[in-house]
Structure formats: structure tokens, C-alpha cells
Amino acid sequence: MKRHRGASALTLLCAMAILTAPGLVSTAYAAPGALAAPLAPSAPLAPLTPAAPGTPAAPEPGAKSLEQVHKEIEDLYRQAGTATDAYNLAVGEAKTQSDKIVEIAKQVVAGQERISTLKNRAGAAARAQYRSGGLPPGAQLALSPSPSVFLAGADLLRQGEKATADNLAELNRTQSDLQQYAADASAHWQTLEANRVKQETAKKEIEQKIKTAEELESKLQAEEKARLIQLEQEAQYKAQTAWLSSGALKELQGTASEAGRKAVQFATAQIGKRYEWGHEGPDTFDCSGLTSQAWLAAGRPIPRTSQEQLRLLPKVAVKDMRPGDLIIYFDDASHVAMYIGDGAMVHAPRPGRTITIAGAGSMPIKAVVRPDA
């Protein structure tokens, strides 16, 4: 219990340090020697520092080792992360198509009103011609009291004929537009339906991967679960130490922009909230939900998914990274975090974990992107 209270207090201190220190975070991640300091916890069961490996009980013949179970669970969550990105992208595309259909519906209504107005004008012109007897210009000249009156009337007649012709041309164009709107609406409906199918497929895949991973974890004893979290932290420690030892931070001197500082403040304020796939706050987030909402809070809307963030946002070199930049992880760009300075990042790790701080090099970095480049 004392250890747990100490860990909670440390987490609070870390979060406060992020928002108050000039570099946005403490230097706990800045050098390999400093990594002996506790990492911000993602679950209360695990010790915050990589403990010396214990001597686990010998597994039964044919049984999986805890390390194998750990790898299997991590792989499942990675696959769920990739599927989550596909789901989020399909949801975004569906919203876009739905918005377009609504816009088309408004255009159809406006077009129908325009046609009604044009028809009324055409009817008025026909009624005026009927009242004039529908006489040809030659007859009107013979019956007119004077040539000047006739010429004035003829000019008005020509204007009326041109207005009628223009009216009919616009009527035809508007009717053609309505036909095009109908075709566009049909195409957007088809895309919307395809996106719905994509959503359902991705959703089922995510739920199955998470369910399988949770079932594997549920079979573990309490000591094994604690050791599993320890294995996660040991792997992160090893990766972060190797990243720092490579000299990755030697040239890092970037200072957060004003928008970047706001994004970091938003992201770190969410520390402790649960990961939940497909969510973008305010109570739960997935990885790209956190980063996209953080930058929205900073006044810079960015793409919803990590893959779209990688594709559409300007890339910067790791050596030029500054707080607020987004770090895209793994070859499939299935995870994203926000760099907060001094070798650390904040992220929503995976189902069963909470938003936390970790080493920026604790996972394989694919690229760094800058929303406010």
C-alpha cells in the first residue's frame, strides 16, 4: 500500500513538472543514467522501475512461458491498434460522405425552388403574349398608330423574347443539375454503405483481438500479471536506453511553439484516463484520439488517425523534434504519441492501460510529424 501511494504521488509530481518546468518535462528520460528513476505507471500493480529478473517457476511441458504470453498479448494489441486506425478512418470517411449527401439535399431543394420560379416566369411571359393577341411583328406594325410606337414595342418584344429564351436555358440547366445531384447522391450513398461495411469489419476484428488478449491475461495469476507488466516496462527500458545511447538527444534543442505548448498541456492533463478504442475524449481516448484532440485544443485541427497524421502532416527529423510534435511508431504507423521534451512522450498505450508518460524511444520510431510546421 505504501509503495502504491508513493507511485501515485510520483505520477502527480511528474504531471505537475510537465506543466511547470521550462523544458515541459523533467529530465528523467534525458540520459541513460537517469532512467533508473521510476517511470510513470500505467497500472498500479507493477513496480515503476525494471526490477531484477526473478526466477519464475518452471512451466509445464508444452505450456507457454510468460515471455511468450507477453509477446502474444502485445502482438494482439498491436493488431487491434492497426484495426482501430482502419475503423477510425472509415468512421471519418462515412461522416464526410454523410455531410456531402446533406449538402446535395440542400442543393436539390434550392434547385427545385429555382425551377418553380423559372416556370412562373415562363407562364407570365406566355400570358403576356396571349394578351397581345400573339400577332406577328408585321401585323403589329400595320395596326400600330405610328412607326415610333411600333419600334418601341418591337424593342420590348425582343427583350421579352431574349428573357424567355434565357429563362428556358436556365430551366434546362437547373433540371440538368438536379439530375447530376441525384447521380452524386447515389454515388455518395454507395460510398457510405461501403464505409459502413468497413467499419463493421474493423470493429469485429478489434473486438476479437482485444477479447483474445484479455482472455490470455485473465488466465494469469496475480503474480504473473504483475510480472507481465514488469516485462512490458523492461522492454521499454531496454529500447529507451538503446535509443538514448545512440545519441538521439545530443542535438535536440527544439523549443515548443505556443500552439505546441497548448497541445502538450492538453495531452498531459489527460494522464490517468483510460484507453478506449475509437474514442477521442473527454473521458477516454485511443492513441490518435488523444493527439488529434490535443492539437484541436491548441487551435490546429489535424487528421484523426495515426496513419493519416503520418501521410498528411509535414515530417521532421528526429534531431529536430520539439515538444508538441507527434511520434509515429511501428512500420504500419499503428501507434502515435506526443513528444513532450527531454526524451519523453505522452500517449494512450492500449486497452487495459491508462494515458501515461513513457520514453520517446521505448517503441520503434517510424517518423516524426509537426502539426504546426
The DSSP H or E segment spanning 198 is helix 147-218
Closest residue by Cα to residue 23 from 264, 237, 259, 287: 264
* Residue 274 β-bridge partners: 354
State the maximum Cα–Cα separation within the chain, in Å, rounded to a whole number: 121
Closest residue by Cα to residue 107 from 49, 17, 178, 179: 178
- To the query of whether residue 14 is one of the catalytic residues in this protein, the response is no
User: In 3-state terms, what secondary structure has residue 41?
Assistant: coil
Is there a contact between 189 and 18 (Cβ–Cβ < 8 Å)? no
Closest residue by Cα to residue 316 from 243, 240, 260, 254: 254
**318 CB-near residues (< 8 Å, 6+ apart):** 248, 365, 368
Instruction: List the catalytic residue out of 70, 188, 279, 347.
Output: 347
CA atoms within 13 A on the CB side of 355: 33
Instruction: List the catalytic residue out of 14, 70, 188, 287.
Output: 287
Instruction: List the catalytic residue out of 70, 188, 279, 335.
Output: 335
Closest residue by Cα to residue 211 from 77, 83, 88: 77
- To the query of whether residue 188 is one of the catalytic residues in this protein, the response is no
- As a whole number of angstroms, the distance between CA 247 and CA 240 comes to 11
Phi first, then psi, for residue 7 (nearest 5°) are -65, -40
Is there a contact between 236 and 35 (Cβ–Cβ < 8 Å)? no
- To the query of whether residue 287 is one of the catalytic residues in this protein, the response is yes
- Dig out the grid coordinates for 247 from the structure: 545519441
CA 209 from chain centre, in angstroms, equals 21
- As a whole number of angstroms, the distance between CA 219 and CA 221 comes to 7
- As a whole number of angstroms, the distance between CA 63 and CA 49 comes to 28
**312 CB-near residues (< 8 Å, 6+ apart):** 302, 303
Q: Which residues are catalytic?
A: 287, 335, 347
